[in-house]
A and B are shown apart, each in its own frame.
Chain A
Amino acid sequence: MSNYIERFRTSERVLHWFVSIAFFILLLSGLGLYSTLFNGYFSVFGGGKQAIVFHKIAGVLFFCASAFMFFNHKKDMTTFDADDKEWIAQRGGYLSRDEAHFNVGKYNPGQKIFAIFTGVATLVLGVTGIIIWGPQSFPRGLVQLSLMMHGLMFVLAAMFVVAHVYLATIGNPGTLEAMLYGDVRKIWAKKHHPKWFKELSGK
């Protein structure tokens, strides 16, 4: 009997990494636009003008792929049941070394909050990005607000991504495999997502 169980299909994993690569292209090409402190990052793309071109292309791709990803999982990600409330009340057991057990389904509330934030950030960054793209076609006040919101959502997104990467790698050993090969160890599934494991394996 296999020790592994499938968590993400190939298409889901490809989409995830597509979004991730687009995100990091956006990050690298956008840093120089965020502050002159990061002017050196423009050279990755051969200058500021080219960095903006990359930022626009990656932005459109990110928007479409991230929105698609969100709608694929919308139902799972936006429903919170009683077990989820318990998880939230105890912060998922992340603030203590004590062994904690939560009856979590396929996604825990932290992952759901990350997914909802990503959906909102995709929308806000996408809409404000279009406005910043053609500032002369919009009222000045709206463009000014968009520049501010684009910066604010970027900062929040970067902070969420730091937490996401940490929790999906060294913070929870065994998790990364889900996004690499798609299969996770059964003991991992039982520990982190017991309700989901039970649904899948029937035990």
Chain B
Amino acid sequence: MAETRKGFLIDTSRCIGCRSCQVACKQWNKTDADKTANQGTFENPRDLTPNLYNRIKFVEKADDKGQVSWKFFNERCMHCGDAGCMKVCPSPGALYRTKDGIVAYNKEKCISCKYCVSACPFNVPRYGADDKVAKCNLCVDRVAGGMSPACAKACPTQSLNFGNRAELIAKAKAAKKTLYGENSLMGTGVVYALEGKPEEYGLPYNPSIPPAIFLWKDVIKPLGIFGFWGSIGAMLIHYVSVGPKKLEETAEDRGGDRHE
């Protein structure tokens, strides 16, 4: 996968917060508009929704003199190499990986269990009115046709760069960028060049599959299957070694008056 894996290199320093990516995504994926309210910030909507697969997060910060500065961050599915959503999905084919390394999904196979919502290290998958998973699918249809995703196509500043993941990373490294996601979770498909610490963008410093999810799927599940068959084996071994507690009638039980 490594050579053919495609992905994003998102250079936050180039982002001007125009939100063309948001609009282009909604247009291509034909998602409905969300009604939002003015909450005193230009950030809108304020979270990913079932109809919003990517958005620009506005990180506002005021310095000592009251001067406000913005950092813009394109929030979306990270297309993890080791994807929590795929690890927990009980419906084969509902969440799947394409040959380009994209974590795509098929709503028709989604059984609405919502496990992916809880297992995502970045809290990305959403469920809408159709009760099916919704998230960035990296315009899997466009990519399969050799095009770039709608958001990258629309980005006017080359903040969103789509292409061969390894090449994009090499280029960013040559430009001395500090990268986020290069190696965590077997490498995220979306790699960021951030202007500051990940925490400033609300990103986990060291993203990983949530520990309880790891224990559930990688420890309890295999041990449980072993334990179940082990318990059946133990009963069989008991039956042929110690054996059952047989009922034996004594003379007394047969109506006799002799005592043991």
The interface of chain A, by Cβ under 8 A from chain B, is 32-37, 39, 42, 47-49, 51-52, 93-97, 132, 135-136, 140-141, 143-145, 147-148, 151-152, 154-155, 158-159, 162-163, 166, 170-174, 185-188, 190-192
Contact A95 B242 (CB under 8 A): yes
Contact B231 A35 (CB under 8 A): no
Q: Which of B10-18, B53-61, B208-216 is the interface stretch?
A: B208-216
Contact B221 A151 (CB under 8 A): yes
Interface string of B210-240 (1 = CB under 8 A from A): 1111011000110111011011100100110
Asked if A171 meets B245 with Cβ closer than 8 Å, knowing A151-B220, A158-B228, A159-B231, the reply is yes
7 A/B residue pairs, CB under 8 Å, sorted by A:
A34-B224, A143-B118, A152-B216, A155-B228, A158-B228, A171-B235, A187-B253
B-side interface size class? 35 or more
Contact B216 A148 (CB under 8 A): yes
B201 lies within 8 A of chain A by Cβ: no
What 18 new A-B contacts, CB under 8 Å, besides A135-B117, A140-B118?
A: A32-B90, A33-B113, A34-B224, A48-B91, A48-B111, A95-B242, A147-B213, A148-B213, A155-B228, A159-B227, A163-B231, A170-B239, A171-B244, A172-B244, A172-B245, A187-B249, A188-B247, A191-B247
Residues of B within 8 A of A162 (CB): 228, 231-232, 235
Chain A residue with the shortest CB-CB distance to B211: A144
Residues of A within 8 A of B211 (CB): 144
Chain A residue with the shortest CB-CB distance to B123: A140
A120 to chain B minimum Cβ distance, whole angstroms, is 17
Chain B residue with the shortest CB-CB distance to A93: B245
Contact A159 B228 (CB under 8 A): yes
B154-183, CB < 8 A from A: none
Measured between alpha carbons, how far is A96 from B238 in the docked complex, in Å? 10
Contact A144 B118 (CB under 8 A): yes
Chain B residue with the shortest CB-CB distance to A158: B228
B35 lies within 8 A of chain A by Cβ: no
Residues of A within 8 A of B243 (CB): 97
